C-alpha cells in the first residue's frame, strides 16, 4: 500500500461533471489500497475572475484581503470534490489551509510554505479517509495566505514531502512532458523520465507543464513527480512522465538533449555608450535587482574607441515598462546615451543532462540556426542548457530544425 498525493488543475475541476470524473479516478486509487491525499486548484478561469474583482475594488488593495478573496476558488472545489467522493461511497473530507495548518511566511500574495502539520491528516488517511486539500493557500499569523499564481503545484509537492508520500501525481491537460511543444513539432516525443534539473530548466525557459517553484521544491525534498492527463482513461500506472533525481535515471535512458523550449515573453534592452570602466555594469543591474526585476541574457559589446561600450540584456516582457523607468531614473549614474528596446524577440533553449559529458552541443545549435539564416542576438548557458535570443518570427522554424538536428524526432508523428 502506497501513500500518494494526487493534484488536479483548473481544467480538471472545471464543472461538476469533471469533478465527478476526478472523484472516480481517486476512487480507483483508494480501491487499489492506497492512502490518498488530493490537492485541487480552483475551476479554470476562477482565480482570474477573483483577481479582477480585487483590482476593480481598488488598485491599491490590501494583500491580506486579496488572499481572502482569491483563496476562495480552491475552497469551493475542495468541498465539491469531497461531496462527489462521498456520493461514490468514499470517505472524504476537506482540509483547508488553516485547518492542517499549512504555515507560511507573511508575504501575502506570494507566501512561502514554512511547515505543514500532518498528525491529524495522517491519522485520518490511515483510517481510510481521503483528504481533499485546497492548493495555493495556507495561513500566516492567523490570516489566510496564498502562494502566488500556479501555487497549487507547490502545495501538492509540499504536502507530499510532509506526508512522506511515495510520489506526487500531477494531473493536467497534457499527458506528459514532451521533447518540445507538439503543436510546433508534430514528431515531438513524450518522455518517460526527466530529471529534476532538466524539468527545472525547461520550466524556467518556457515549458508550461509545471511551475518552476514546485519542481525546485521536489528536487530539494526528493519527491518524485509524475505528470499525466486527467482526461486519459487508460491505466495510470504506465502513463505520463516521471520526474526524478538523475541517479534514478538509467544510463540507457539518458540522452544528450532531453528537450527544447521556447519563450516569447522576453524583451531586449540595449544601452548605448555606457562608460567602459570598472563598476559600470553594476550601476545598470543594481537598480534592476533592487526593483525585483530578473535579468536573463547579458551581452557587452566590444569597447568603442571613445572609451564606451554597448550593453544588451533581456528582461521578462511584463517588466519592460518598469525596467525602462528604473534605468531612466538611474541614467545619470549609469551614463548611457540611448536606451533602445525590442519586444519582438524570443528565447529558444536546448536542455539535457548529457551536456555535462559531451562537447559540441552549442556548436550544433549555432551551425543549425546559421544554416537557416537565423541570427543569434544573445546567448546564455548553464551546465545543462544553452539558450539563444532570436527574432520572434523565427521561433517555430528554430524549434523544428533544432529538434531534428539533435535527433529528437519521433519516427511516427504523435
Express each pLDDT in 386-411 by its tens digit: 999 999 999 999 999 999 999 999 77
pLDDT higher at 392 or 248: 392
Question: C-alpha angle 200/268/197, rounded to 5°?
Answer: 10
Name the strands in the sheet holding 339-351, side by side, starting at the edge strand that comes first in the sequence: 298-300, 308-316, 259-275, 339-351, 385-391, 378-382
At residue 111, the pLDDT reads: 95
DSSP for 10-78 reads TTTTSSHHHHHHHHHHHHHHHHTT-EEEEEEPPPTTHHHHHHHHHHHH-TT--HHHHHHHHTHHHHHHH
Q: Is the pLDDT of residue 253 over 60?
A: no
State the pLDDT confidence band at 31, using cuts at 50, 70 and 90. very high
Q: What is the mean pLDDT of residues 222-228?
A: 94
At residue 356, the pLDDT reads: 81
At residue 388, the pLDDT reads: 95
At residue 247, the pLDDT reads: 79
State the pLDDT confidence band at 164, using cuts at 50, 70 and 90. very high
Cβ-contact 102, 137 below 8 angstroms: yes
Q: Taking the complete model, does pTM exceed 0.85, yes or no?
A: no
At residue 403, the pLDDT reads: 96
At residue 234, the pLDDT reads: 63
At residue 236, the pLDDT reads: 62
Residue with cell 495510470: 236
Least confident of 20-24, 290-294, 299-303: 299-303
| SS3 sequence of 334-374 | HCCCCEEEEEEEEEEEEECHHHHHCCCHHHHHHHHHHHCCC
Tell me: the pLDDT tens digits for 72-81? 999 999 999 9
Q: Is the peptide bond before 101 cis (omega within 30 degrees of 0)?
A: yes
Pairing of strands 308-316, 298-300: antiparallel
Centroid of chain to Cα 341: 26
Q: What is the mean pLDDT of residues 238-244?
A: 85
Q: How far apart are the C-alpha atoms of 134 and 152, rounded to whole Å?
A: 8
Q: Is the pLDDT of residue 186 over 80?
A: yes
Amino acid at each position: 500500500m502506497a501513500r500518494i498525493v494526487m493534484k488536479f488543475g483548473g481544467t480538471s475541476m472545471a464543472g461538476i461533471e469533471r469533478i465527478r470524473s476526478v472523484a472516480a479516478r481517486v476512487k480507483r486509487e483508494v480501491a487499489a489500497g492506497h492512502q490518498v491525499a488530493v490537492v485541487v486548484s480552483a475551476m479554470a478561469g476562477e482565480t482570474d475572475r477573483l483577481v479582477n474583482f480585487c483590482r476593480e475594488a481598488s488598485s491599491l488593495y490590501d494583500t491580506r484581503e486579496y488572499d481572502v478573496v482569491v483563496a476562495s476558488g480552491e475552497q469551493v472545489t475542495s468541498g465539491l470534490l469531497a461531496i462527489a467522493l462521498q456520493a461514490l461511497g468514499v470517505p472524504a473530507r476537506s482540509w483547508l489551509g488553516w485547518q492542517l495548518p499549512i504555515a507560511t511566511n507573511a508575504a501575502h500574495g506570494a507566501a512561502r510554505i514554512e511547515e505543514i502539520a500532518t498528525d491529524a491528516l495522517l491519522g485520518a488517511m490511515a483510517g481510510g479517509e481521503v483528504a481533499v486539500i485546497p492548493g495555493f493557500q495556507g495561513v500566516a499569523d492567523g490570516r489566510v495566505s496564498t502562494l502566488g499564481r500556479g501555487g497549487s503545484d507547490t502545495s501538492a509537492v509540499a504536502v507530499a514531502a510532509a506526508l512522506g508520500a511515495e510520489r506526487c501525481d500531477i494531473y493536467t491537460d497534457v499527458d506528459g512532458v514532451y521533447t518540445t511543444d507538439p503543436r510546433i513539432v508534430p514528431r515531438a516525443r513524450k518522455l518517460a523520465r526527466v530529471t529534476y534539473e532538466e524539468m527545472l530548466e525547461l520550466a524556467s525557459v518556457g515549458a508550461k507543464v509545471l511551475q518552476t517553484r514546485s519542481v525546485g521544491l521536489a528536487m530539494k525534498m526528493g519527491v518524485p513527480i509524475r505528470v499525466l492527463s486527467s482526461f486519459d482513461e487508460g491505466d495510470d500506472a504506465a502513463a505520463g512522465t516521471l520526474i526524478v533525481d538523475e541517479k534514478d535515471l538509467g544510463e540507457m535512458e539518458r540522452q544528450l538533449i532531453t528537450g527544447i523550449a521556447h519563450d516569447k515573453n522576453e524583451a531586449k534592452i540595449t544601452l548605448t555608450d555606457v562608460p567602459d570602466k570598472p563598476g559600470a555594469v553594476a550601476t545598470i543591474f543594481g537598480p534592476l535587482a533592487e526593483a525585483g526585476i530578473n535579468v536573463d541574457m547579458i551581452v557587452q559589446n566590444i569597447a568603442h574607441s571613445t572609451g564606451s561600450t554597448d550593453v544588451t540584456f533581456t528582461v521578462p516582457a511584463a517588466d519592460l515598462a518598469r525596467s525602462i523607468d528604473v534605468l531612466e531614473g538611474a541614467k545619470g549614474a549609469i551614463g548611457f546615451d540611448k536606451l533602445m528596446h525590442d519586444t519582438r524577440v524570443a528565447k529558444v533553449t536546448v536542455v539535457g543532462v548529457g551536456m555535462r559529458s559531451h562537447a559540441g552541443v552549442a556548436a550544433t545549435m549555432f551551425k543549425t540556426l546559421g544554416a537557416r539564416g537565423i541570427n543569434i542576438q544573445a546567448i546564455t548557458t548553464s551546465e545543462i542548457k544553452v539558450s539563444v535570443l532570436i527574432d520572434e518570427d523565427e521561433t517555430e522554424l528554430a524549434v523544428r530544425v533544432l529538434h531534428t538536428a539533435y535527433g529528437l524526432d519521433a519516427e511516427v508523428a504523435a
